[in-house]
Amino acid sequence: MSHFRLARLCLLLAAVGLNTAPALMTSAHAQKGDAPAAAPSNNVRPELYKLLDPAQLQPLIASKNAAELQNRVTQAEAIPNKTPYEAYVVNRAKMVQASLAGNDAGVAAAAEEVLKSGFEPKDSQPKLVLAIADIQYKAKNYPATVEQLKRYEAMGGDMTTARPLLVRAQYLSKDYASAKPQLVQIISEAEKAGKAPSQEDLKLLLSAANETKDTAVYESTVQKLVTYYPSDEMWGEIIRVGVIKKPGFDQNNFMPVLRLYFGTMKTLREEDYVDLAETALRDGFPTEAKNALDAGYAAGVLGKGANAKAHNALRVRADKGAADDAKNIAAGEASATKSKTGAGLVNLGWAYATMGQYDKGIGFIQQGIAKGGLKQPDEAKLRLGAAQAKAGRKDDAIKTFESVKAGGGLSDVARIWVMTLKQPAGAATASTAPAAGK
């Protein structure tokens, strides 16, 4: 980020004509050898004109002969009693020479003199200030960069191009409070134009919001990063700030969070794969546990390191349980149907969904929700929505998730599921599957 610049300095200087020889006018009476009391304000004396004659300077500039140009500038500077306009012309030539020599500090110093002279045309003055700002940024003098860009803005300069430089200078000066609204504006303008904000701008805003403890802007920025540049890191972060760290989250609802992790992220942490598998086994869903462990092994996260033996033992349990469940699941349909509450039907349907039998699973979960008597009807809806999403019934899944209103984190989990389903085509980085394999 620290190497961000508006454009190459030579292009900025070209915008104000500083890569060409200065346009000069000579005094008519000076050419005749007269000695006037005061030279006309916008003329130069013959001896100065001879040194800075555009016809002679242009070949030097074209051939990048900085040494000869420096020789002429040095002689021009030595001429005594220069008029303000003559000093202005010399400083303009000094900018050209400094630019050719790669002397950014010299360009900035001469530019300041040019601006102070009062002879520089008004339309090119902001461009000169912008060039000075760019030079200060390159020199990592970020407070000076901010000062010059504020000066540029006050002169009526177009901030559309300059604002990204301003916000980076503010950020690198650790003025996060000033950088934040500028970044919000940049991102908003991009979105209004139908464009995706840059990932760098979004990450800068995320950092600035974190530094200023602005939780609202932080969460909204994570959502934008998930939308435009989805990644495991950002999915994990939106779940962290939008569910787990949100006031009112109930730790008893952590299983829906684990299922959300598994449905949105390509690769989970070791502990998340293990927690998901162990909880699924405890709750009577060995195939869900097997799916999580299989994914963890395939990702190279499980089966190695200090916990490899424990991973392998857990996998043996899950594999055996899944095999037994596949043989016996149909036998449980009658008892689940006869039960006084819909809990058995919901669990049966979820078990079928984890086995990849989505339509059958969806039907049983719907029957269970309709039968009622559930401790957490909205948790059952989360499982129904996940099964519908995996079955490719996107609109049904969104409708189901949007019907989840319970607190304790359940409605927040549902909201993020909806985000995954509304991802632009090709943007999603992970399957929207429940724990049914990836």
- With H, G, I as helix, E, B as strand and everything else as coil, classify residue 187: helix
Give the Cα separation of 193 and 188 in Å (integer).
9
Tokens of 198: 């840059």
CB 5, CB 138: distance < 8 Å = yes
Give the Cα separation of 106 and 405 in Å (integer).
65
Q: What angle do CA 408, 411, 415 make, to 5 degrees?
A: 140
pLDDT reported for residue 112: 96
305 Cβ contact list (under 8 Å, min separation 6) = 270
Residues of the chain with CATH 1.25.40.10: 232-422
| Backbone angle region of 409, left / alpha / beta, with phi > 0 → left and psi within -120 to 50 → alpha | left
- With H, G, I as helix, E, B as strand and everything else as coil, classify residue 28: helix
Q: Specify the residue for token string 């008519």.
A: 28
What architecture is domain 232-422?
A: Alpha Horseshoe (1.25)
pLDDT reported for residue 23: 58
364 Cβ contact list (under 8 Å, min separation 6) = 333, 336, 345, 346, 348, 349, 352
Tokens of 65: 């002969």
Beta bridge partners of 26: 44
Q: Specify the residue for token string 């939308």.
A: 227
Amino acid at position 118, single letter: G
Give the Cα separation of 218 and 223 in Å (integer).
9
Give the Cα separation of 72 and 430 in Å (integer).
66
- Side-chain-side CA neighbours of 359 within 13 Å: the count stands at 0
Residue by residue, DSSP assigns 336-405 as: HHHSSSSHHHHHHHHHHHHTT-HHHHHHHHHHHHHH---S-HHHHHHHHHHHHHHTT-HHHHHHHHHT--
pLDDT reported for residue 53: 87
Tokens of 217: 């802007």
pLDDT reported for residue 39: 39
- Could you report the average pLDDT of every consecutive run of 10 residues in the chain (438 residues)? 51 52 50 42 86 87 90 95 93 90 92 93 92 94 96 93 93 96 95 95 97 95 94 96 95 97 96 98 98 98 96 98 96 94 98 97 98 97 98 97 97 97 63 41
CB 206, CB 238: distance < 8 Å = no
